[in-house]
Amino acid sequence: MSNQELKNTMSKSVEAAQRNFNTIRTGRANTSLLDRISVEYYGAETPLKSLATITTPDSQTIAIQPFDLGSLASIEKAIATSDLGFTPNNDGKIIRINVPPLTEERRKEFCKLASKYAEEGKVALRNIRREAIDRVKKSEKDGDLSEDQSRDEQETIQKETDNFIKDIEKKLSEKEAEILKV
């Protein structure tokens, strides 16, 4: 695995952690809160964003306008049964969700969830590091690399891993600050 391939693979893990962070509520309306919602549509689980236009008319409201009005009830049910704790209001054409301000207890729960997502990202990075180091050790064992080259490669891999872990930790602290900001 080249250095560039290693960076690309690790940056994908960081991006996945960022996408997970984006699904956590912060007390302000944000369309990415609904990214994980799937709707039962003609017998198939379909992502909500492919069934409707999702907008935020103001900082406390999310508006969902389905392309097909027949999917309105299914969308409403999917939102109501999700773990987000939203109560959708259906006026027959548009579903509106009022995003209530977070309680202190809820903010702490979301901080724990953000920490969990960050840890998952770090574990993924460590797994990538382990695989890369194993490949380098195998190359050394096969005689393709000298002991010094192998050590240098392993140090480079470790430095890259440390940088990407710092990146996830920075994103986590930013998200926690955003969640705790009243």
Do residues 49 and 90 both lie within one domain? yes
Instruction: List the CATH number of the domain containing 156.
Output: 1.10.132.20
Judge if 84 and 126 occupy the same domain: no
Domain count across the chain: 2
- What local confidence, expressed as pLDDT, does residue 132 receive? 93
Q: How many Cα atoms are found within 13 Å in the side-chain-facing hemisphere of 37?
A: 27
- 111 shares a domain with 73: no
What is the rounded distance in angstroms from the CA atom of residue 137 to the CA atom of residue 141?
6
Q: The pTM is what? A: 0.73
Instruction: Say yes or no: 107 and 148 in one domain.
Output: yes
> Are residues 36 and 85 both part of a single domain?
yes
Q: Along the chain (182 residues), what's the average pLDDT of each consecutive run of 10 residues? A: 85 91 80 85 89 89 90 89 84 88 86 94 95 92 90 94 96 91 74
| 67 and 117 both lie in a single domain | no
What CA–CA distance (Å, rounded) separates 115 from 97? 27
Cβ atoms of 165 and 125 within 8 Å: the answer is: yes
Look at residue 1 in the predicted model and tell me its pLDDT.
66
Other CB atoms within 10 A of residue 44 CB: 8
Domain boundary among 45, 76, 98: 98
Contact between 53 and 64 (Cβ < 8 Å): yes
Q: What was the pLDDT predicted at 101?
A: 81
Q: Give CA–CA dist 164/126, Å, rounded.
A: 10
Domain limits for position 72: 31-98
Q: Are residues 131 and 161 in the same domain?
A: yes
The full length of the chain comes to 182
CATH number for position 57: 3.30.1360.40
